Structure 1
């Protein structure tokens, strides 16, 4: 009987684990990422403060920092994420963590100058207390022909 119960528990756990990465959950993360780009463009720090995890990390070409400096940079216009043209997106969900990769062309204003850069952006989301929180946002500049 003990073996039967243990076997049933293992089957239930494996079924639950295999259904963790559903198209609906992937779509939820993709939609949340798109909303985040819009909130960044709109400088909607209220929405971003709710989305960014307290321990979140942001990696840019010029350095890395946490939630409060990122919010302050967006609020002040130090970096204005004007438009993210998303070319490709993929999502991998591992337990309560979602890793989203965005291949984008970012039009931004940095220090008063408009710049356009191709990036692979890694976004890590953590499902916590019934909500997805952004734990990390990292920009990797992609080389294009001629560079």
Structure 2
């Protein structure tokens, strides 16, 4: 009986610790994503270069880009991510992979034209050692009542 109680106690402690670790990792990914939006707005290409995985892919409404292409477009101002207003965020953890979904309104300058679009942005982060790297970022434009 005593061994059963001790066993149940240890299981409860391990479950709480695991849940706390999970919640802390979710917060870490959410904060990293928020920082990434600011770095993109500020055109901090060197900081973004360190965040983006070497094989990262970026999917936009007009096509896909490699890491080098995305950094080049940010640096040149071909796309200036001026402001991302985040409305909803969720994180799903699968092993060393974090999938973050952001529902945002993005104010950007694209090809010299200022545009505002509602997006669901999917960001996939991969943990390499103790560092999270962005492996994929995809923009899906959301329909608004005026689109229907």
Same fold (TM over 0.5): yes
Partner of 1:29: 29
Once residues 116 and 107 of structure 1 are traced to their aligned partners in structure 2, the CA distance between those partners, rounded to angstroms, is: 4
Displacement, 1:111? 0.6
Once residues 104 and 146 of structure 2 are traced to their aligned partners in structure 1, the CA distance between those partners, rounded to angstroms, is: 18
Displacement, 1:80? 0.1
Please give the secondary structure, in 2, of the residue aligned with 1:27: helix
Partner of 1:19: 18
Partner of 2:112: 112
Partner of 2:46: 46
1:68-83 residue pairs with structure 2 within 5 A? 68-83=68-83
Partner of 1:134: 134
Structure 2 unmatched ranges of 5 or more: 1-10
CA RMSD, 1 decimal: 1.6
Query: How many residues end up aligned between the 2 structures?
Result: 133
Partner of 1:4: none
String of CA shifts for 1:31-82, please: whole Å, max 9, x gaps.
0000000000000001100000000000000110110000000000000000
Structure 1 unmatched ranges of 5 or more: 1-11
Any runs of at least 4 consecutive aligned residues in structure 1 with deviations exceeding 3 A, and if so which? none
